[in-house]
Amino acid sequence: MMTGTHRPIDFTDTVNGCRECISHCCNSEGYTVVRHHGKLIGLHRRIYEGKHRRLRPGEKVVHLCGNRRCCNPAHLEAIMPASEGIGSIATADSGMSMNSC
Ligand SMILES: [Zn+2]
């Protein structure tokens, strides 16, 4: 149940099994964005966190299907970009992201 300025988020399923957002617009990179605490963030990141786990700082969510508008949690995977060394990768929680698909 959402109140205030939040619009309900609507999806449509495509033939590839992708789930594209049709209620919100996308940014210049083609990712669907939503407003969250006054900030625009990628909808796929929120979906990922809602379905899988919290993202760590610096972690990116990539689309395995290549469709940036897709928000199907099964098509999303979190990666830690190697180029963005933030110094906190070596924390002891590497066992938390068990992939049991
Ligand atoms: Zn997809």
Say which amino acid occupies 25: C
pLDDT confidence of residue 82: 80
pLDDT tens-digit readout, 16-26 = 999 999 999 89
Mean pLDDT of the chain: 83
Q: Show me where the domains of the chain are located.
A: 11-83
Ligand 1 centroid distance, CA of 16 (Å): 7
Ligand 1 centroid distance, CA of 61 (Å): 12
For residue 90, CA distances in Å to 16, 56, 58, 86, 96 come to 36, 12, 13, 10, 13
CA distance 30 to 9: 17
Ligand 1 centroid distance, CA of 2 (Å): 25
pTM of the model: 0.71
pLDDT range class, residue 7, cuts 50, 70, 90: confident
Q: For residue 45, how many other CB atoms are within 10 A of its CB?
A: 20
Say which amino acid occupies 57: P
Ligand 1 centroid distance, CA of 84 (Å): 25
pLDDT range class, residue 91, cuts 50, 70, 90: very low
Ligand 1 centroid distance, CA of 39 (Å): 24
Size of the chain in residues: 101
